[in-house]
Amino acid sequence: MNSAAIGLDRLEHSQVCDADAELVIPGDGENGFPMCWYAVCKSSDVPDGLIFETPFLGGNVVVWRSTRGRLNVQTAYCAHMGANLANGRIVGETIECGFHHWCYDTGGKCVYIPSTDNIPAKARLFSYPTVETQGLIWAFNGAEPDLDIPLPLTVDNIDDYWIAVQDDVHEMQLPHYAQMLNIVDFQHFQYVHDMAMTDGFPPKDAVLTIDDHSFGFSYKWGEVDTHWRMTGTSILNITFEGPGALFELVNLMATTPIPGGRHKVYGVGFKRKRADTPEDRARADAEWVATKPMEDATFKQDEDVMRDWHLRARNLVPADVWQRRMLEFIRDYPRADPAEGYQ
Ligand code: FES
Ligand SMILES: [Fe+2]
């Protein structure tokens, strides 16, 4: 893997300031979507026996657990005449279409048609590679994942942490990566969130680290060590370590394209266990309740300024140098649309 920590002195400002060169990033759905893991829904959305339907990337998917517990994320429309499989039911290890009772296995293959033994070779759904972790159900946009869903930064063992998935899932009329772009937009921390950025844009001691699948940076913000990492173009891990409970923060944000140029945003919080007891879980819950108004207010500030954002990247100036780097990373990320033709 190609990995590099890059100091600001190595960034060429002349490359940033080419006012005529607009950086063109494919929109969500143009040439497919970046080949990475996306949050499809919360684990709690899919109890046993229920077929959960949700918009995902360019279409709709059904999410269901087979009788033996195998989790599935599959294109939602029957290969016969296109009925929505959410109107069907789970039968053992298959999902049965409500219309003519064709049944599909966990790999998406049609394995039963009541009216014939001759099952058409193309009678299948697209089955996304699927993982359930950190309170969410994830699907990889491709035939085979070439990366794992990362643990939160600075976390070695997830079992040492309490996890809280936020109830509210936000939606915005923007490409999914707009959320990620925000984290390298140090100017907006000052002007939108009213945080003093005394070390410049970007801060002079911040260190950027880029490899094939991730784009992150570390920065000591006053007393607080902050670490930020985007994996693929859709997973953001943030860790703040510093004095006071407010600054012990381990968060995950996952953004997922959905049809119509929109995206969804999932939030997950992690808190280190002091003991594996209900009392300690209650302590963690109380801390989340205490910091939620501040997190909501920050998100609202972003939402207000991002409304009707015609996202483009031209006339970039030196303060935009990291945004440019991130946009180039997103532009160059491999893309695919393995579910094309199944919707
Ligand atoms: S439309 Fe699904 S079985 Fe006919
Ligand atoms: Fe923001």
- Between residues 21 and 204, the one the model is more confident about: 204
- Between residues 294 and 62, the one the model is more confident about: 62
Do the beta carbons of residue 137 and residue 130 sit within 8 Å? yes
Ligand 1: residues whose CB is within 6 Å?
Answer: 78, 80-81, 83, 97, 99-100, 102
Mean pLDDT of the region 14-29: 72
Give 79-120 pLDDT, tens digit per residue: 999 999 999 999 999 999 999 999 999 999 999 999 999 999
Ligand 1 binding pocket mutation candidate from 62, 75, 81 (most atoms within 8 A of CB): 81
What pLDDT is recorded for position 271? 93
The answer on pLDDT for 250 being more than 80 is yes
Nearest atom (ligand 1) to Cα of 101:
3
What pLDDT is recorded for position 12? 45
Superfamily of domain 158-336 in the CATH hierarchy: Naphthalene 1,2-dioxygenase Alpha Subunit; Chain A, domain 1 (3.90.380.10)
Pinpoint the residues of the chain covered by CATH 3.90.380.10: 158-336
CA distance 267 to 198: 29
Cα–ligand 1 centroid distance for 43 (angstroms)? 28
Pinpoint the residues of the chain covered by CATH 2.102.10.10: 38-140
Please list, in sequence order, all residues whose beta carbon lies within 8 angstroms of the beta carbon of residue 111, skipping any fewer than 6 positions away.
94, 103, 104, 105, 119
Nearest atom (ligand 1) to Cα of 97:
2
Topology of domain 38-140, CATH:
Rieske Iron-sulfur Protein (2.102.10)
Do the beta carbons of residue 20 and residue 313 sit within 8 Å? no
CA distance 201 to 319: 5
Beta-carbon neighbours within 5 Å of ion ligand 2: 182, 302
Cα–ligand 2 centroid distance for 226 (angstroms)? 15
- The burial class, CB within 10 Å (0-12 / 13-18 / 19+), for 138 is buried
pLDDT-based confidence at residue 3 (cuts at 50, 70, 90): very low
CA–centroid distance for 31 within its chain: 19
Give 159-218 pLDDT, tens digit per residue: 999 999 999 999 999 999 999 999 999 899 899 999 888 887 888 888 999 999 999 999
The answer on pLDDT for 20 being more than 80 is no
- Between residues 228 and 14, the one the model is more confident about: 228
Q: pLDDT averaged over the chain?
A: 91
DSSP string, 31-84: TBEESSEEEEEEGGG--TT--EEEEETTEEEEEEE-TT--EEEEESB-TTT--B
Closest by alpha carbon to 107, among 78, 144, 74? 74
Closest by alpha carbon to 108, among 134, 70, 136? 70
Give 147-160 pLDDT, tens digit per residue: 999 999 888 899 99
The four Cα atoms 61, 329, 236, 250 give a dihedral, to 10 degrees, of: 160
Answer positive or negative: Cα dihedral of 189, 195, 200, 205: negative
The model's pTM: 0.92
Name the residue with the closest Cα to ligand 1, atom 4: 100
H or E segment and range at residue 189: helix 186-191
Please list, in sequence order, all residues whose beta carbon lies within 8 angstroms of the beta carbon of residue 194, skipping any fewer than 6 positions away.
none
Do the beta carbons of residue 75 and residue 342 sit within 8 Å? yes
CA distance 329 to 181: 11
The answer on pLDDT for 78 being more than 50 is yes
Give 317-329 pLDDT, tens digit per residue: 888 999 999 999 9
Instruction: Give the single-character DSSP code of 206.
Output: -
Give the number of the ligand closest to the Cα of residue 228.
2
Give 32-73 pLDDT, tens digit per residue: 999 999 999 999 999 999 999 999 999 999 999 999 999 999
Do the beta carbons of residue 229 and residue 150 sit within 8 Å? yes
Please list, in sequence order, all residues whose beta carbon lies within 8 angstroms of the beta carbon of residue 14, skipping any fewer than 6 positions away.
none
pLDDT-based confidence at residue 7 (cuts at 50, 70, 90): very low
- By 3-state DSSP, what share of the chain in percent is helix, strand and coil, each rounded to 5? 20, 35, 45
